[in-house]
Amino acid sequence: MKTAKFVIGAASMILSAGAAAQDLQPDQLLTPPADRWTIRFEPSVWYAAPGGEARLPGSTAKVQFIDLNLDQPRLAPYGELHFRNDDFRVSLSAFSVSLDDVGTVVSAPMQIGSVAVNAGDLVTSSVSITSGELVGAMQLGSPNGLDGKANRDFALSFELLGGVRMYHVDLSFAAPAGRIEANEFFLTPVVGIKSTINVKERFDIDLQVMGGAMPTGGSRSAFCMEILNGYVYRPVPNVGVQIGYRLAYCSLEDGDGASAFEYSGAVAGVFAGLVVRF
């Protein structure tokens, strides 16, 4: 009989402890749903247009992308992969925008590196801009409602970001007078901040700003900046759809004098895709 009373008492204590622990579970805190998942995968399609200007070895003249019809929007792959542990996150993301063999009859003379182009010449151009980044993030404090109170329906959170970003630019131009190419790779540190508003645990609004620079003090330097605004709707808890706008700007330089390479411009456009959580 004493044994039975002991077992019943122990069971009661365990149940009471479990109830108390449940009150302290993270789900009972004001935490955006995105923070409750270990892995988050976001495959997207970006309708993006590269713009800007480039200088290739052989001349100080710069060629404008718009003059060679290289600023046309096109579909490009873009994706993100996030790994989260409590308030910390590690993320990988990448995009690649390219256009091959675009033929343009130029209306005025121009110089593309060491290649002279006359009015009426056919110039065949190819451009590829690829970027990827590895970023770590830390949530700043506990999320609160927009009114500063514990409001699940309008939870506002902030993350501090830091990591590295790479750029690979591949350019090719062919004219009757010759052909010239440039293939450059750059790596730079980046920092930024991201804010997220969660509405009714099914709709997120994200705004992210990042930037970085790598001045070497010599003939090689890189500067980049990115602004991203996204909207995610989750019809079911672990699958959602998203749409947004992204602008990625960079200024890249390598070399001195007539042998220098320069590119400055932005890739910008709307994107849409899925959000899958595990």
Averaged over 119-131, what is the pLDDT? 96
Domain ranges of the chain: 1-29, 31-277
Q: What number is the average pLDDT over the span 117-145?
A: 91
Q: 10 falls in which pLDDT band (50, 70, 90)?
A: very low
d(CA 143, CA 26): 12
Structure confidence at residue 226 (pLDDT)? 97
Reply yes or no on whether the pLDDT at 111 is more than 90. Answer: yes
* 226, containing H or E segment: strand 220-236
Q: Give dist(CA 28, CA 259) in Å, integer.
A: 61
pTM, to two decimals: 0.81
Band (85; pLDDT cuts 50, 70, 90):
confident
**Topology given in CATH for the domain delimited by 31-277:** Lipocalin (2.40.128)
Report the C-alpha gap between 175 and 178 in whole angstroms: 5
Residue 124, CA atoms < 13 Å, CB-side half-sphere: 8
What's the whole-number mean pLDDT along residues 201-207? 89
**Smallest Cα–Cα separation from 140: which of 161, 163, 158, 152?**
158
Averaged confidence pLDDT in the chain: 85
* pLDDT single digits (tens) 153-178: 678 889 999 999 999 999 999 999 99
In whole angstroms, give the CA distance from residue 105 to residue 121. Answer: 5
Q: How many CA atoms lie within 13 A of 202 on its CB side?
A: 4
pLDDT value for 18: 42
Spatial CB neighbours of 18, under 8 Å, sequence gap ≥ 6: none
Asked if residue 79 has pLDDT above 70, the reply is yes
Centre a 10 Å sphere on the Cβ of residue 119 and count the other Cβ atoms it contains.
10
